[in-house]
Structures are given as C-alpha cells and as structure tokens.
Chains A and B, each alone.
Chain A
Amino acid sequence: MITAGIDMGAKTIKVVIVKDNKIVARSMNPTGFEPVQTAEKTLEEAIKQAGISRGDIKKILTTGAGRKSIPFADNSVTEVTADAKGINYLLPSVRTIVDIGAEEARGISSDASGRVLDFSKNDKCAAGAGAFVESMSRALELTVPLMIEISHKSTKDAPINATCAVFAESEVVSLIHTKIDKADIAHAVHDAIASRVCSMVRRIPIEKDVALIGGVANNTAIVEAMKKHLGVEIKVPEKPEYVSALGAALLAAA
C-alpha cells in the first residue's frame, strides 16, 4: 500500500511517501504565499522520486499548521500525533519528543506504540523556535550554518534573557556593541532557545529516550545546548524535518 503524508509547515511544506511501510520518497519546498499549489508541487516531486503515479497513492493525510487547507487530502491529523507516530517508526525506544519548528516548539510524551500520552507547546512566543535562530543570524550578519559553526567555538557565556524573541534581539544588539565575540553571542542565542524550549518541555514527564526533531534539530549547537539543559542524551533521527510528514503517511496506512 502506498500512502503520502504532507506536513504543511509555516515555513516549509514536506512530503513523505511510504510504500509497504518503507520510505520511498521525501521532498520539501518553501511554503510561500500559495501553500496549496506548493503542496501539489511538492507532492508531484515526491511521486516522481518514488517512480509511481498519483493514482497509486491510496490515501493522503496532512499535518502541520496549514493541514486543513488542502482540498485533495483525505484527512488531517495534528502534528503532535504525527510526530509520535513518525518517531516511533524511526527510533522506537524514544518516549519523549521535542519538535522545534520554525514558529512552534512542542514537547510530546508517548508510549511504546507511538501513542501520545501528553504534550506541551509554547504559547504566543517565538523565543523557542527556529524563526528566532534566523533572525539572530541576521543580527549577527552570519548565515545560519556559519552561526552554528562558530557557536561551537565559543569560550565564554553571555546570557540572554530570552523571555521574548523581540527583546532578546535587542539584547543581542547590545552584546554586539559591547564587543563580545560573535562566537560567544551565537552560543548564547542557541543556549537561550534551548533554555526556553526545555522550560516548556519540563511541563510533561521526561522519559528516555529523548529525541529532537523538526528542522531545528539539524542545528548541532541547539542539540548540544538541549543536552546540557535537559541533562540527558538527545537522539536526532535522519532527516528530522520530515518526521511529521512521515508520521502522517504512516497513519494514512493504518
């Protein structure tokens, strides 16, 4: 059986196609201003990659912020449910999932079958999300990859009170003017995000194994900082940004 999962994220749309419980395609595009068209395009790219035709797909399930806007989907499921299912497939030992997306972070507690037991999310606050990393990289006049790279070279703490992303940006500007090394500022930014996220995640029971997913999981500086704040080993699956879409595809096959 062939199914597809579409993660309609705020920043990017991801598609995963699963055939008989195996991942056969992944594709991603920036969401842009025409999300339905982007979803169509991304799906077509994945279909081509899988070497199948549209009619071969038995069911399409959407997830993500824009999940209800896709007319050609059969149904939708929330990101929390999709995350738990997806990670259960990739790393069955995981019981706590931290998903940091562009604009939202989630903490999910799940059981051995990938069922959601509890979850927490950040409320109207982007200080613990991917968009913050990008805006800070602009303030530091660095690309995100370079910011991550120099962050690992930091030798000093420069704490940021990142209760609010907007004010945290002001603090970063202040730090730049005090001639603190960019590496230390970059490290401070990552530390602040991890701190905010962990603060939110601690509202649910934290049980090993703990996994970090979502696009921000590719940020090794965040992974290091999360390990430090949570005090546990953090697993990052391959292609962490696709876990939600994968979960949706698997649920479509269930």
Chain B
Amino acid sequence: MTTVTKYKTAPLKCWQKGKELRLEAYRDLATGHEQGKLMVLGCAATPYGMLAGLGDFVFLAGEPYGASVAADPPVSIPAMELYEAKGYARDMCGYMRNFLGTMFQDKYYFTGGPFPKFDFAWSVRHCPAGHPKWHQIVSEYQGIPMNYIDDETMLGTDGDQQARIDYVAGQYLDSIEWMEKITKRKYDDEKGIEAMRNYFINEGLWGEINLLNGAIPAPLDIKSMFALMPISMLRRHEKVAIEFLTELRDELKERIADKIAAVPNERYRMCMLTPPPWSFLKVFRYLENYGVVFAGTYVYLINSGEVKFLYDEGKVVPATPPEKRPGWKTMKNREDLCRTVARWRAEHPFQSHLETRKKEYVIMFKHWKANAYLLLINRGCVPMTTSMYDFQRDLNRQGIPTSMFEGNFADCRDIDETGVLDRLETFLEGQGIQKIQSL
C-alpha cells in the first residue's frame, strides 16, 4: 500500500450557513402549511417559482422528499412495505414508493406528525412512467385537485417543435387560471415573474458551481454537493438562495486559486450520470480511500441547475438567465411568463434528446477531467435506465472507461452493498488503482 497526501484541504467557510438554509427549507416544508402557506405537490423539475403569483407557498417536490426517506432505512422500509401492502407494484419509482408509503402511514418524514394534505398537485410531466400518475394516486387518496404540464419536448425529433412549445405555454396559462379558480386567489403576474427570475438565476448558479469541479483538485466533494443541493432544489425561487449560491460559487473559485481540495489524496476522478444510491452514500467515502473523487453527476448539473453546452466546440459554460439571452423578451405579464418558461424548458439541457445527451456526457467527462464514469442502473426508474446500456456502449466506443452497477437508488433492500463495492474494486484494480493509506 502506498501513501500519498497531495493537496491541502479546508472545510467550506459557508458550510454552516448552507446547513441553516437547508434546515430552513425543511422547516418550511414541515410547518409552512400550518402558517397558512399554500402547499403544493409536484416534481422537482417543475418551475414552481410560478406559484409565487398566488402568494406564499410551500412546494413539496416528491423526489427529494422520497430521497430523504430513502436515506433513512428504519423509516423507509416500513413505508415501502405498507405501499406494497396497498397493492402497488414494487418495481416502480423508489422515490414514489417512499413518498406514498409515508402518506399511507400518515407520517410526514420532516415532522413525524400527520402527513400534510396538499392544496393541489401541479407538476410538469416529464416521465410517463411516474409523474403525474404518482400525483394521480395522491389526488385520489387525499381528494385534492390536480393538474399538470405535458412538456416532454425533448422527444420531438420530427415535425414542428414550435407548435409543441406553444402547447406547453398554453398549458401553463390555463393552469394559472385553474389555480385561481381552485384557490380563489388572484394571480399576481409580477410576483410570479419575479420568483421565476430568481429561479433562473439560481439554476444558472448551481450549474456554474457544478462546473467549477472541473478544476484539479476538485474544490467540492460530491457528498457535500448533495448536502447543499436542497438549497437550489427547494429554494430556487428565493433571493436568499441566490445570495448563498453566489457566496458558495465565489468561495469555490478561491479554493481553486489556492488549490484547496475536497479530497486531499485525489488521484482518480470519476463522474456519474444519475442520482446516487441514497441509502449507500458512504460508497463515496469508501472510494476516497482509493483517492477517488467524484467531480459531479450529470443529473444534478441539469436538474435544479442549468448550463449551456457548446456542442460544436465540445465545451460547456454557465447559463445566462433567459431574459438576458439574445432574442428573448423581457417578461411583463403572465403570457410572457408562460411563453418564457415553456421556451426555457424546451431549450434546457434537462430536455436534451437521447442523442444530444450522449454528446453532453462526453463534454462533461472532458470538462470534469474525469478518468471514468460510474453508471448506476436504477431499477424502477424507466427514463434513466432504459438506454443505459446504449450510453455505456457509446462512452466505451469513445475510449471512456465505465463501471456499472445495478441497484435501486431509493430502496435500501434492493442494493447489494458488498456486491457494489466488489464491482468498484474490480474496476479500479483494472485501472491500476489500489487502496491508499495515510501516513
């Protein structure tokens, strides 16, 4: 065994602040409804900043909630068992199973108290195997109204894409009217616009923060990234998130200038495509024993984050907010808001077509100066899983080593921890990477 301590390291200065902001977000999710805020259910990719036009609100994104439960096996397992006892299938989305399980238990994870009754469900539909059918179950169970925005424009390879974007914009507009009707509140266009401006900026900042991990050594380790991500994921519509993410970004730039590493013995860099196994995050700490650092995961670059890919140059740069892009209008009213959001979503890398994604994966691999990709086949997640072998083949064809393992990222019963470590060790051995030990 060899011993190498290469880089200096230091804790993040803004870490404590980040923790507080994150806790605030969870507290709001726990008590917001009691405080008279509207409580809305949807998926994390929803432009929930638009809800600000109705007043104060709390948006419970199902997936991060599900991930929180999943990372807590003593809570997760009984919840999922109850979900199954209700007759729902086990091979479905793990996030959803954790979410619905706690709903059926009437145990809200953030408080341990009764599960909240939402005012309504409103979400983008980016996965026909999950959202919004997930919300359909909640809608029926709780007797709440539901609406959704059908906007999977990335699948449109033939025909008129603009007509689809118009259709999406129309649905947003219709849903504002629908929300006014069911909440009996008047929608304040300016408030909705302002919140979405914050949303766009926050996404750009989070994307930029992820890109900064292209530096060697990486200034931010992946576990810390996951810990801070809720600030973007849950508070994208707030100015306080802009302030924090700006501070984090600036601090990371300083760390890069001073060569402060997240992982002091960094010598092999990996990246991922998907969310991690939430009940098995210690795999990243385990891999640090090999000097492996994870520069990032593609999914969180473009989910609660935004970047701009320059395909012809093979590069990626931070995104600018839509209103600052050439040819985009300044939003003045709800029609502008809906059109901007629809177009923004359609052009967002979240909506990249399969073939475009393949290019983006390679661009990110090079940007993050990675040595290999770690591919997790998340059983139960159809969109992320179906083409994974195709992605692997494509990456391998371009000389990019990949290590792949199967498991469920939100079902601790369905991930073989020993098997995963064995597989990773085998892969690293093949790459000539052995365990290292500090002197």
Contact = CB atoms under 8 A, between A and B. Distances in A.
A–B touching in complex (CB under 8 Å): yes
A78 interface: yes
B251 interface: no
B392 interface: yes
Nearest to B428: A78
A123 interface: yes
B389 A80 contact: no
Contact of A203 (B392, B425, B427): B392
A227 interface: no
A41 interface: no
A118 B401 CA distance: 8
Interface residues on B, range: 10 to 19
Interface in A78-119: 78-81, 115-119
B386 interface: no
B23 to A, nearest CB: 37
A115 B432 CA distance: 10
B426 A81 contact: yes
A123 B426 contact: no
A3 to B, nearest CB: 18
A78 B392 contact: no
A203 B404 CA distance: 11
Given A78-B425, A118-B396, A203-B389, A124 B419 contact: yes
Contact of B430 (A81, A124, A205): A81
A116 B430 contact: yes
B391 to A, nearest CB: 12
Contacts of B422: 65, 78
B416 interface: yes
A147 interface: no
A80 B426 contact: yes
A121 interface: yes
A224 B169 CA distance: 60
B317 to A, nearest CB: 33
A246 interface: no
Interface string B5-43: 000000000000000000000000000000000000000
Contacts of A119: 426-427, 430
B429 interface: yes
A121 B423 CA distance: 9
A120 B401 CA distance: 13
Nearest to A124: B416
A115 B401 CA distance: 14
B416 A80 contact: no
A102 B423 CA distance: 18
A80 B429 CA distance: 9
A119 B427 CA distance: 8
Contacts of B396: 118, 205
Contacts of B429: 77-78, 80-81, 116
Interface string A2-32: 0000000000000000000000000000000
Contacts of B406: 123-124
A123 B430 contact: no
A79 B430 CA distance: 11
A205 B430 CA distance: 16
A118 to B, nearest CB: 7
A120 B389 CA distance: 11
A117 B430 CA distance: 7
Contacts of A118: 396, 401, 430
A179 B434 CA distance: 55
Contacts of B416: 123-124
Contacts of A80: 426, 429-430
Contacts of B423: 121
B351 to A, nearest CB: 28
Nearest to B427: A119
B426 A78 contact: yes
Nearest to B401: A118
Contacts of A77: 429
Interface in A43-86: 65, 77-81
Contacts of A79: 426
A70 to B, nearest CB: 16
Interface string B392-435: 10001000010011100000000010010011011101100000
Sorted nearest first, the 8 A-B pairs with minimum C-beta distance are A78-B426, A116-B430, A123-B406, A80-B426, A81-B429, A78-B429, A124-B416, A78-B425
20 contacts: A77-B429, A78-B426, A79-B426, A81-B426, A81-B429, A116-B426, A116-B429, A116-B430, A118-B396, A118-B401, A119-B427, A119-B430, A121-B423, A123-B406, A123-B416, A123-B419, A124-B416, A124-B419, A203-B389, A203-B392
Given A116-B429, A205-B396, 5 more contacts: A78-B422, A79-B426, A118-B430, A120-B404, A123-B416
